[in-house]
Amino acid sequence: MPHLYHLSLKHLADQKGNSVGEIVCEFDFHNHDDLAKIIQKAKDNGVVPESEVFEFCLGLKLLTEVAMKHRDEPEFAEFFPHLGTFIRAIKAPRIQ
């Protein structure tokens, strides 16, 4: 059974710094991975700067789940192998 998560996205300020305070979207989603563990691994591995880990992990995991569901559709079928290559590359041990 997949993990169940809830995501809320709130627009805090526009490009000029003006306060917005509007909920853009709020939804539940499933993921086959424990996202807390994925986030911790990304922090430990230094895949991206720590200040970008949440954006990177959530964006990639949301994209990956949708791409997996639609991998037989033409647009995703072309993209899916490249996504797999990218994921394998970031999971590989990093040479310091």
What's the pLDDT tens digit per position in 3-54? 999 999 999 999 999 999 999 999 999 999 999 999 999 999 898 999 999 9
Q: Which CATH architecture has domain 3-91?
A: Roll (3.10)
Q: What is the arithmetic mean of pLDDT over 61-79?
A: 93
pLDDT, position 95: 67
Are the C-beta atoms of 83 and 64 separated by less than 8 Å? yes
**74-91 vs 53-69: helix crossing angle, rounded to 10:** 140
Residue 89's pLDDT band (boundaries 50, 70, 90)? confident
